[in-house]
Structure formats: C-alpha cells, structure tokens
Amino acid sequence: MKLYRPFLRELSKKASSPPIVRFIAAHDGQEYLGSFTDPRESFARVAIRDDTTGLMSLSTVEYPVDTILPPVEPPAVWCVGLNYADHAAEVKMVPPENPILFSKAVTSLVGHKSAIVIPRVASDPPEVDYEAELGVIIGREAKDVSEAEALDYVMGYCIANDVTARRWQGKKGGGQWQRGKSFDTFLPCGPYIVPKASIPDPQNLAIRTLVNGELVQDGNTSSMITPISKLISYISQGTTLLPGTLILTGTPAGVGYTKGKYLAPGDTVTITIEGLGMLQNPVVGDNK
C-alpha cells in the first residue's frame, strides 16, 4: 500500500475524483488499487506510476476483479460508541459528555461481498448484530490537531459495519467492548475510498442498513453527537494518528439488539451511505 498512498493523497485534493477500490485481479492473482468501470463491479482500471514523472494515474486497461479487499490496511481502528442520540436512547443509555472510544482489531477487517462469519462462541444463543457507520480515513500524520484543521488530515471516506457480539460486548468480555467487536470478519469495510474532495459535507449524509432487503436503520450523519472534526481533534490529543488510520464514527438507531433480532447464517447485510456507494456482506456460520 505504500506505493499507492501518494496516489490517494493526490486524488483526495481533486474536486472530482473516482472512488478507489482495492482488489485482487482474476487474471494474475495480484493486488491492485483502481476504480470500478462497470456497475457489476467485475472490472476496474488500476493505479499505475509513471517511471519518469513519478505521478500516479489510472490505466486505460481494464482488469478483471476477483476479490474486493478492504480499501485500506489501517495501522489502527478507532471507534466511537453512542455517537447518535437516537441510538443512545434506544439502548437506554445517557448520551456521553465526551466521546466513548474503543478499538477494533485490524484482523477483523474484510471487504465488500466477503462473508461475516458468526464464530461458534457467539452463535448459541444468537448475539451478533450490525452497526452501520461512516468510516473516516486519515491521510497524513496527525497529532494535537485543532477542530478547525481536523478535516485537512482526512484522505477520504468509506462505509463500515461495526459488527458486534452483544453478550461478548458485555459480561462475556469483562465489560470491555473491544472483545465483542474484534472477532474475525467483524469489520466489513468498503467498497472503496471516496476521496474527501468528492464529499463536500460529510456531516449531512443519509445512512441506511437493510437486512435481507428490510430497512432496519435509517439515519443521517447530521445527527452525530460529536461531529467528525471534533472526533479527530479529540482522538489526536497526545496521540499520533498514522496515515491510513480508520475512524468509525458511530451508528444510528435501529440495531438488532433492541428488537431481539440478531444476524443468522443466510442473512445479507446491505449498508448505503449517500455518496459512498453500497457495502454488502453475506452472513455465514463457522463450519470449521
């Protein structure tokens, strides 16, 4: 990914830039960054570097897509709990005065169309839940940044699903949220990075989740308790955020926990965020 970070930074500054997908090509099995060229997401133009100028651009040749990977390899994943008032209300918790921060293991990442695997230790009784979230990708090293300057450090945005095993989030995990949110495949992310310049107001985006075609979450990023700029500034105080760091910004109301309806093998979770496309993942059981 180091080769392509300059390319991503270039695109993040342009007024009109294509969404960037990370994928494995079907013809050679190699990993690339590129941009989809068809609505079925089966072909993409790839990012290439000019050996003379060192500048990055998209190829004119289309590559067949085999596997869609998470769009970034984050050095860290920061998450924010209870950042929508309606979600705090539905789980009967008081909205926090300061952001509730936790992390997810980077090993939990999977890409668009990859399966969410329900681990055996979280399958009986059912407890695995979905949480649609706007993902923010940091583009350059950030520490002690001001709220006014915070968005200058953003490379782009993506869709994320903060999949959670609710009982492990509670007593099973000793009351520490990270354990119940860090099982393998518990962070679907993608389908691509949309450069910052293409999203003029990330604080006014519709965010929705469907499970098997049924609308279960219907919110807007305007309802965040702590906005993105303040989150970045808050997290960066005394803490270095490296390029590629992924920040999940919270989920709106409608999670399965409040309805006693958890994910099960055979389900399909579809999340859309205005301007960022669609993240879709099937749900399977752990058959190992």
Looking at the fold, whether 158 and 249 belong to one and the same domain comes out as yes
Looking at the fold, whether 178 and 262 belong to one and the same domain comes out as yes
- State phi, psi for 191 to the nearest 5 degrees: -70, -15
Quick one: average pLDDT of 150-164? 96
Q: In this structure, are residues 55 and 49 in contact, taking their beta carbons and an 8 Å threshold?
A: yes
Quick one: average pLDDT of 5-34? 79
Looking at the fold, whether 124 and 173 belong to one and the same domain comes out as yes
Residue 204 has pLDDT above 60, yes or no: yes
Specify which residues 80 forms β-bridges with: 101
pLDDT digits (tens, 9 = 90+) for 21-38: 999 999 999 999 889 999
Residue 11 lies in a domain: no
Looking at the fold, whether 198 and 96 belong to one and the same domain comes out as yes
Confidence band of 280 (pLDDT split at 50, 70, 90): very high
Q: What is the pLDDT of residue 8?
A: 65
Q: What is the pLDDT of residue 5?
A: 60
Q: What is the pLDDT of residue 287?
A: 83
Quick one: average pLDDT of 214-224? 97
pLDDT digits (tens, 9 = 90+) for 56-110: 788 888 999 999 999 999 999 999 999 998 888 888 888 888 999 999 999 999 9
Q: How many domains does the chain have?
A: 2
Looking at the fold, whether 88 and 43 belong to one and the same domain comes out as no
**Any idea what the CATH number is for the domain that residue 148 is in?**
3.90.850.10
Q: What is the pLDDT of residue 3?
A: 43
Residue finishing a domain among 34, 69, 104: 69
Residue 159 has pLDDT above 70, yes or no: yes
Looking at the fold, whether 107 and 194 belong to one and the same domain comes out as yes
- State phi, psi for 282 to the nearest 5 degrees: -75, 160
Strands 21-25 and 56-69: antiparallel
Domain housing 42: 21-69
Looking at the fold, whether 158 and 259 belong to one and the same domain comes out as yes
Q: What is the pLDDT of residue 157?
A: 96
Q: What is the pLDDT of residue 238?
A: 98
Residue 7 lies in a domain: no
Residue 147 lies in a domain: yes
Residue given tokens 């709990």 in the structure block: 81
Q: In this structure, are residues 47 and 31 in contact, taking their beta carbons and an 8 Å threshold?
A: no
Looking at the fold, whether 110 and 199 belong to one and the same domain comes out as yes
Average pLDDT taken over every residue of the chain: 91
Residue 61 lies in a domain: yes
pTM listed for this prediction: 0.94
Which of 9-23, 33-47, 217-231 shows the lowest per-residue confidence on average (mean pLDDT)?
A: 9-23
Residue 1 lies in a domain: no
Q: What is the pLDDT of residue 13?
A: 64
Q: What is the pLDDT of residue 170?
A: 82
Provide the token pair at 101.
């921060």
Residue type, position 119, single letter: P
Provide the token pair at 231.
């989150």
Residue type, position 94, single letter: V
Residue 29 lies in a domain: yes
Q: What is the pLDDT of residue 171?
A: 81
Residue 12 lies in a domain: no
Order of all β-strands in the sheet with 214-220: 116-118, 277-285, 268-273, 206-211, 214-220
Q: In this structure, are residues 226 and 80 in contact, taking their beta carbons and an 8 Å threshold?
A: yes
